[in-house]
Amino acid sequence: MSTDRRPRRGLARRLLATRLADHLTAPHGVDRFLEQLDPLLTVHQVRGVVSEVVHETGAASTVVLAPNDAWTGFRPGQHVQFGVEVDGKRRVRVFSVSSSTARDDGRFSVTVKAHDDGYVSQYLHREMAPGTVVYLSEAEGEFVLPEEVPGGLLLLSGGSGITPVMSMLLSLRDAGHTRPVTFLHYARSADDEIFRGALDEVVATCPWATVRRVYTREPGAGDLQGRFTTAHLDLLGIDPATTPTWACGPAGLIETVRKTYAEAGAEQMLAVEYFKVPKVDLDAADATGTLSLDSAGLDVPNDGRTILEQAEEAGLTPEFGCRMGICHKCTVKKKHGAVRNVLSGEVRADTDEDIRICINKPVGDVCVAL
């Protein structure tokens, strides 16, 4: 079943996108009035309508979207903010684009695995239907291939981290790419593998692509066994020092990959993206002092977790989107104190600086505008 409510381009839409139109509709702006007629008529804010929902596995679904004319496209590997209204409340999360850039109908897709504690992912997998209007952002993110795609590259993924690298692989195929690409994916089992059919098609039609799947909970399924190790690269004839690599997956996988490339002196060959923030190391040296939630008038003992987690534990409901440092929706003002970025380990202690509370934890006493 498919639905296409994408507004048609025309002179009227171009005129409505001008500064004059915004001036005449100030202070709200032209989009505020247009969306009262149809949410897809906005000229500045990106909207999309669900045209199809495909269940990839028992826990993962692909949503195909027809965006309005405010959408300017994406580069493979990028993500979008994805907002839905449920029970009168808009909830926004961040999902990677999973489709090829070569679709000639202007549509694109996101593929999401439903998590037990994921309100939006559960709704998307179980209830979302064609015709649903989705509130989007422009595509964002630096986890992308260069304009000149090198040969001999490695695309490595684990679990639902396959989505951005699958977009890369499909886009390369549809652009007529012929240079060698190795696609190495880790899943718990064949039944858990997202895009299983699409990867089978790539194997059958793309002689330049070497596709290898590793099922970590199905021993004996191929010559690559268990979780990622340097031995897997050796078996595939991949030298980190000479192989441009893009890797996306859970924290454990990405940390192991980063360590492997660092030990080979090949950090510059690796681009990574997490789909979940690493579990915070509750370092006793960091977990001291007090986290002051200034706007709420609360002081809580710093337990070493991220500021977002500690604020939620204290009963606050800070705005957030991705919970992994990508979308910046959780950015707040840190008034004073030091924080550690749980992704990079960097410590910052500037006064009155903006921080993303989903990936920063206090180091001693910290005061934030929450």
Q: Tell me the per-residue pLDDT of 3-30, one tens digit each, with 9 for 90 and over.
A: 444 444 455 555 556 565 565 555 556 5
The distance from CA 145 to its chain's CA centroid, rounded to whole angstroms, is 15
In sequence order, which residues have a C-beta less than 8 Å from that of residue 283 and are 6 or more positions away?
Answer: 304
**What CATH class is the domain 290-368?**
alpha beta
Bridge partners of 140, per DSSP, are: 79
- Local structure of 271: helix, strand or coil: strand
Q: Which amino acid is at 91?
A: R
Asked if 153 and 244 count as a contact pair (C-beta separation under 8 A), the reply is: yes
Q: How many other C-beta atoms are found inside a 10 Å radius of the C-beta of residue 364?
A: 16
* Alpha-carbon distance values, 76 to 101, 146, 167, 279, 288 (Å): 7, 10, 5, 27, 42
Residue 236 CB neighbours (<10 A): 15
Residue ranges for the chain with pLDDT beneath 50: 1-9
Give CA angle at 22 (17, 24), nearest 5°: 125
CATH number listed for the domain at residues 153-273:
3.40.50.80
Is the separation of the CB atoms in 221 and 212 below 8 Å?
A: no
Domain spans in the chain, listed from the N-terminal domain onward: 11-136, 153-273, 290-368
Out of 2.30.40.10, 2.60.40.420, 2.40.30.10, 3.40.30.10, the CATH code matching 11-136 is 2.40.30.10
Planar angle of CA 247, 140, 188, nearest 5 degrees: 35
Say yes or no: do domains 11-136 and 290-368 share a fold: no
The model carries a pTM of 0.76
pLDDT for res 4: 42
Contact 155, 165 (CB under 8 A): yes
**pLDDT score recorded for residue 3:** 41
The residues pairing with 109 across neighbouring beta strands, listed in sequence order, are 64
The predicted-structure confidence for 195-208, as pLDDT tens digits, reads as follows 999 999 999 999 99
Sequence-distant (≥ 6) Cβ neighbours of residue 317 within 8 angstroms: none
Neighbours of 178 (CB within 10 A): 13
Joined together, the tokens standing for residue 188 give 């718990």
Tokens of 288: 């001291």
Give Cβ neighbours of residue 349 (< 8 Å, ≥ 6 apart): 337, 338, 339
CA distances from 179 to 148, 196, 206 (A): 12, 23, 10
